[in-house]
Amino acid sequence: MKAKDIVGVTNPLRVWPRRLYYGIRDRPDVQIAKLERRIDVLENRLTSSQEQIDGWREIHSLLQPWIIPDLTLRRFGAVDDGGYLLPRRLVESSNGAVSIGVGSEISADRELVGCGLPVHAWDHTVNELPEKGSGVVFHPQGLGINPLNNLLVPLPEIVESSFGQEQGELILMLDCEGAEWETLIRSNLESLKRFSIISAELHFLGNAMVDARPFVESLGFVNEYFIPVSTSSNNYSATWSIDGITLPDYVEVTWVNRSYLSESDMASALEGVITGNRNCPDIEPIKNV
C-alpha cells in the first residue's frame, strides 16, 4: 500500500475528523454567534446621517406612552404573546372588538367575549379558530390593501362587515406581522375614529434605520387622534440603536382615542417609558428603552 493511500482523503482516519469539524462548524448556535458578530461589526461601521438620527429620535418620542392616573390598564388574555393591555374603563363601555391576526391564540378575544362583548376575529392564515365554542365570530380573511384572491380586505371593509356602518366605541386589536402599517394611515381615518382603543404589535422598526419617514408619518398621524398609554418591548425581537437611542424591532402599543378622554384626564397625564414585556418566557425581557 502506498503512502498516499494511507494519508489520502479516503482514509477514514482523516474523513471522520473532518466530518466532526464540519459538524461543529455548522452547529446552529455557532452560526448564530457568527451572525451576531457580523451584525455588531456592521452596526459599528454604520454612519447615520443627521436625518436618520432625527427620524429615530422622533419615532422614540412618538412611541413614548403617557400615564393617565384615572385610566387603569388591565391585560386581557395571555400574560405573554397573544395578550393585550387595555384600559378597563373603556373596555367596560365598549360595544365590541375587531381582532385582526389571531393564529392559534385567542385568549384575549375569549376573555372579551366573557365580558359580554361581541368579538370578530379576522385571519387568512388559518381555516378556523383554535377553540370551538369560544363565542368569537371568525372571518377567514386578513388585513391588506391588495386582494390576494379575496383573502385580504382593507380596514374599512373589515369594520363594516363586523359592526355595520355606524357603530362606534369599538376596540381594535392588531397582530398581523407588518400589515398594521397599512392600517395606520390617514385614508383610514374615518374607520379608525370608530375605535376608542387601538392595541397593536408593531413590527420591523429596525427598517427605520434606513428610512424613518414612513414610520414617523404613520405614528405621527395616529398620535393626532389617539394618545399612547402603554408601550412595551417584545423580548423575542432584536434591538437597534442610533445615537444612543435603542428601540426593539417589535413593540406593543395601546392607544386611546383622545375624544374619549376628559380635560382632567389629559391634564393629569404623566410621561411614561417604554417598558419590557416577557412575550417569550424563556428569554429575559428587554430593559426599559
| pLDDT, tens digit (0-9, with 9 covering 90-100), for 255-264 | 999 999 999 9
Q: What percent of the chain has pLDDT over 70?
A: 79
Q: Is the pLDDT score of 12 beyond 60?
A: no
pLDDT band at 137 (very low <50, low <70, confident <90, very high): very high
Look at residue 286 in the predicted model and tell me its pLDDT.
Answer: 58
Q: Is the pLDDT of residue 62 over 80?
A: yes
- Cα–Cα distance, 8 to 5 (Å, whole number): 5
Check whether 181 has a pLDDT greater than 50: yes
| Residue in this structure with the C-alpha cell 398621524, named with its chain if needed | 221
Q: Is the pLDDT of residue 11 over 60?
A: no
Pairwise CA distance, residues 211 & 216, whole Å: 10
pLDDT value at 17 more than 60 = no
Q: Which of 4-8, 239-243, 247-251 is least confident?
A: 4-8
Class of domain 48-277: alpha beta
Question: Long-range contacts of range 237-243, CB-CB < 8 Å, 24 or more positions apart?
Answer: 238/206, 239/286, 239/289, 240/205, 240/206, 240/209, 241/43, 242/48, 242/52, 242/53, 242/56, 242/209, 243/48, 243/53, 243/56, 243/57
Q: Give the Cα separation of 186 and 62 in Å (integer).
A: 16
Over 60: is that where the pLDDT of 16 sits? no
Q: Is the pLDDT of residue 8 over 60?
A: no
The CA-based angle 215-217-218, given to 5 degrees, is 65
Q: What residue segments make up the domains of the chain, in order of their start?
A: 3-42, 48-277
- Given this model, what pLDDT does residue 22 score? 41
pLDDT confidence tier of residue 14, bands split at 50, 70 and 90: very low
The whole-number average pLDDT for the span 50-72 is 93
Residue that wins the pLDDT comparison between 93 and 22: 93
> Among 271, 280, 276, 281, which Cα is nearest to 239's?
276
Q: Is the pLDDT of residue 112 over 70?
A: yes
- Match 367575549 to its residue by C-alpha cell: 113
Cell 404589535 belongs to: 201
Query: Higher pLDDT residue, 244 or 119?
Result: 119
Mean pLDDT in the chain? 83
